[in-house]
Amino acid sequence: MISGFPVRIAGTGKYIPEKVMTNFDFEKILDTSDEWIVTRTGIRKRHFAGEGVKCSDLAYKAGLAALEDAGIDASELDLVILATNTPDTVCPSTAAKIQGMLGAVNAGAYDVLAGCTGSLTAMLTAVTGIASGVWKNVLVIGSEDFEDVLDWSDRSTCILFGDGAGAAVLTRSEDGGPRFAAGEVKADGSKYRLITIDKEEGRDNPVLRMHGAEVFKFVNVHLPPFIKSFCEKAGVEPAEIGFWVLHQANTRIIDSLFKRLGVSTERTLMNLEQYGNTSAASLMVTLDEAMKSGSIKSGEKVLFMAFGAGMTLGALLYEA
């Protein structure tokens, strides 16, 4: 359980780049079909950043939107955390670049790399730091620019991913107001080769490789018991969760999770169909869409869930 000062979501934002690639576009360059992709993943199209646009550019726009939504000036931020697997540079952090772009002159900045669990991990870090009194206002951004790291001839992987960014301003709350109640992250490093972005001979850029079927199996075996045990420790039944903010990787994974928890899929928002898997951005984009569409009702319990490279798993409980 999270103790200390209560922490709430003050505002959210997203930025999805304009360039679109549909399943039909993939049919023209790969031995694949719209029917295969939709049936196996739930994805119909995804967006890409385009030539010369970087992770920081998408993140900056999402961050700006979240600040505007929160009614907070960049100078009031104590910290900017960026969750990404596709930073502009390995060093310095892309978060530092964004801090400069935003003019968040009083804020520290660093990147979090935890696969698709990155933005959940960044949120948990922000929440515990605000709860302890170290920070008051933290901007958490998830942003991905996969276009340059995809192998466009690998049909089992390149059809899954898309670019985008989402952000949230987390701030100290009032007693009795909305608050994050619990959080947990886990890793199984023995499976770290299942999803990688690494250098390969003969390639200019690092390339994303995924053992899709093994990832699918890992997640289906480990995710339901992880969520069940998280709920138990947080003292909440899955049936009591009013809304689920989920990492968007594959509709079959979500359907199977909800079936095993006995939860209706009506209590979540899926956008995988439009954006594909935007990895560290996915949870933040989904959060923004859930907040803006009024899907999250005041007073209800909200569960955030993510999983990804590492392998990593994460959950957060929010009382809206």
Which residues are tagged catalytic?
116, 247, 277
* Closest listed residue to residue 269, CA positions, set 252, 291, 253: 291
Distance between CA atoms of residues 38 and 250, nearest Å:
10
> Which x/- pattern over 194-213 shows residues binding ligand UT7 (rule: CB under 6 A)?
-x----------------xx
Among 184, 187, 216, 270, binds ligand UT7 (CB under 6 A): 216
Report CA-CA distances (Å) from 127 to 60, 94, 282. Answer: 21, 21, 19
Query: Whose Cβ is closer to ligand UT7: residue 118's or residue 129's?
Result: 118
* Residue 196 in tokens: 């990688």
156 binds ligand UT7 (CB under 6 A): yes
Nearest residue relative to ligand UT7 (C-beta): 212
Distance between CA atoms of residues 234 and 256, nearest Å:
22
155 binds ligand UT7 (CB under 6 A): yes
Binding segment for ligand UT7 (CB under 6 A), chosen from 6-14, 170-178, 249-257, 265-273, is 249-257
DSSP-assigned beta bridge partners for residue 205: none
Query: Whose Cβ is closer to ligand UT7: residue 219's or residue 234's?
Result: 219
Give the count of residues interacting with ligand UT7 (CB under 6 A). 22
Judged by CB under 6 A, the chain residues 224 through 243 that form the site for ligand UT7 are none
- Are 166 and 142 in contact by the 8 Å Cβ rule? The answer is yes
- Are 24 and 37 in contact by the 8 Å Cβ rule? The answer is no
Report CA-CA distances (Å) from 142 to 39, 135, 164, 168, 195. Answer: 27, 19, 8, 9, 18
Judged by CB under 6 A, the chain residues 52 through 111 that form the site for ligand UT7 are none
* DSSP 8-state class, residue 37: H
Binding segment for ligand UT7 (CB under 6 A), chosen from 3-11, 56-64, 214-222, 223-231, is 214-222
- Are 7 and 137 in contact by the 8 Å Cβ rule? The answer is no
DSSP-assigned beta bridge partners for residue 114: 116
Among 5, 27, 38, 40, binds ligand UT7 (CB under 6 A): 40
Binding segment for ligand UT7 (CB under 6 A), chosen from 69-77, 154-162, 167-175, 178-186, is 154-162
Rounded to 5 degrees, φ, ψ at 12 are: -135, 165
Distance between CA atoms of residues 146 and 209, nearest Å:
12
* Residue 29 in tokens: 């360059």
> Which burial class, exposed, middle or buried, applies to 153 when counting CB atoms under 10 A from its CB (0-12, 13-18, 19+)?
exposed
Among 11, 308, 310, 314, binds ligand UT7 (CB under 6 A): 308
Query: Whose Cβ is closer to ligand UT7: residue 41's or residue 119's?
Result: 41
Judged by CB under 6 A, the chain residues 264 through 293 that form the site for ligand UT7 are 277, 279
The widest CA-to-CA distance across the chain, in whole angstroms, is 58
* Closest listed residue to residue 194, CA positions, set 307, 88, 47: 307
Q: How far is the CB of 239 from ligand UT7 (least distance, A)?
A: 25
Query: Whose Cβ is closer to ligand UT7: residue 69's or residue 144's?
Result: 144
222 binds ligand UT7 (CB under 6 A): no
Q: How far is the CB of 200 from ligand UT7 (least distance, A)?
A: 20
- Are 233 and 2 in contact by the 8 Å Cβ rule? The answer is no
Q: How far is the CB of 271 from ligand UT7 (least distance, A)?
A: 14
305 binds ligand UT7 (CB under 6 A): no
295 binds ligand UT7 (CB under 6 A): no
Per CB under 6 A, residues contacting ligand UT7 are 32, 36-37, 40-41, 116, 155-156, 159-160, 195, 212-213, 215-216, 219, 249-250, 253, 277, 279, 308
